[in-house]
Amino acid sequence: MSNAQYLASLVNSSGNINIPVSNAGINFNNSSAIGASTLTDYETGTWTPAFQTGTFTYNRQVGYYTKVGNIVTVGVGLLWATNSGGSGVISINLPFTLGGTTYGRATGSFGYVSGLSFTSGTVPEITSTGGTTNLNVFAIANGGGAPTQLLNSNLSSSGEIQFSMTYIANF
92 to 10, 21, 24: CA distances (angstroms): 41, 37, 34
User: Is the Cα torsion angle 155, 127, 76, 47 positive or negative in sign?
Assistant: negative
Query: In b/e form, how buried is each residue of 122-135, taking b as 16+ CB within 10 angstroms?
Result: bebbbbbbbebebb
- The predicted-structure confidence for 66-91, as pLDDT tens digits, reads as follows 999 889 999 999 999 999 867 789 99
At residue 37 the predicted structure's pLDDT band, cuts being 50, 70 and 90, is: low
For residue 92, pLDDT over 90 is answered with yes
Which of residues 146 and 95 earns the better pLDDT score? 95
For residue 43, pLDDT over 90 is answered with yes
Average pLDDT score over residue span 135-148: 86
- pLDDT of res. 9: 72
For residue 111, pLDDT over 90 is answered with yes
For residue 118, pLDDT over 70 is answered with yes
CA distance 117 to 111: 16
